[in-house]
Structures are given as C-alpha cells and as structure tokens.
Amino acid sequence: MHYNRGHLRTILLNLLSNALRYRHPDRPPRVRVRGWRGPTGQAMLSVADNGLGIDLSRHGADLFQLFRRFHPEAAEGTGVGLFLVNRIVESNGGELQVESTVGEGSTFRVTLN
C-alpha cells in the first residue's frame, strides 16, 4: 500500500501533538501509536492517550469542524488540527473514528485507503 508521505506526516503530527498538548495535569502523559492491517487488508493507525478526553455526547457533532476547540483553557491552538486530519483521511477514501472518556483519554483510529 502506498500513502502520501506528507499526508501521513500531517495526520501523525496533529494526533501526536494533540495527545501531548491536552495531557492530564495530574499524571505523566502516555501515548501509544499502533499500525496494523484491517480485516480487509486496509492499513489502520491508532493514536491513544491518557489525557483530558473529550465529552463526545456534548462535542461529538463538532469534533471535526473548523476552529472548534474543546479545552481552550488547557493549551493554545487554532482548532484546525482535527479538521485537517479528517479532511485528509476522507479525501483519500479513509475514515477517522474517535473514542474518548473525559478525564481518561482518547483514541483516534484512522483507516487508510
């Protein structure tokens, strides 16, 4: 499988920087990056952290919208990162999914096609 190196770099840079930027103040940050082949052979990537987490019931619909921020008090940012990641992934026929628990962390799963 071939994937645009610049796009992959942007995806990883944004997900990793968010994992570190929105770390939980009461514990050291822990970030896990995994890659594997999905059930139909597609490349999969996940970035999981133990950070602040996102209230998906409250913010889920806005998660990949431009200029949306969910922890503005925690760190500086523009609200462009997740929007950009989602646009890159979807424009290449992939999918971006998120699981998150407030106070426990988030996992972003990317299907690369």
Q: What is the pLDDT of residue 63?
A: 77
Say how far residue 17 (Cα) sits from the centre of its chain: 9
Quote the CA–CA distance of 4 and 30 in Å, as a whole number. Answer: 27
17-27, pLDDT tens digit by residue?
999 999 999 99
Burial (CB count <10 Å: 0-12, 13-18, 19+), residue 87: middle
32-63 confidence digits (pLDDT tens): 999 999 999 999 999 999 999 988 887 667 77
Least-confidence region, from 27-41, 55-69, 75-89: 55-69
Nearest CA among 28, 22, 80 for reference residue 51: 22
Average pLDDT (72-77) is 60
Return d(Cα 92, Cα 74) in angstroms, integer: 32
pTM (predicted TM-score): 0.85
The kind and range of the H/E element at 85 are helix 81-91
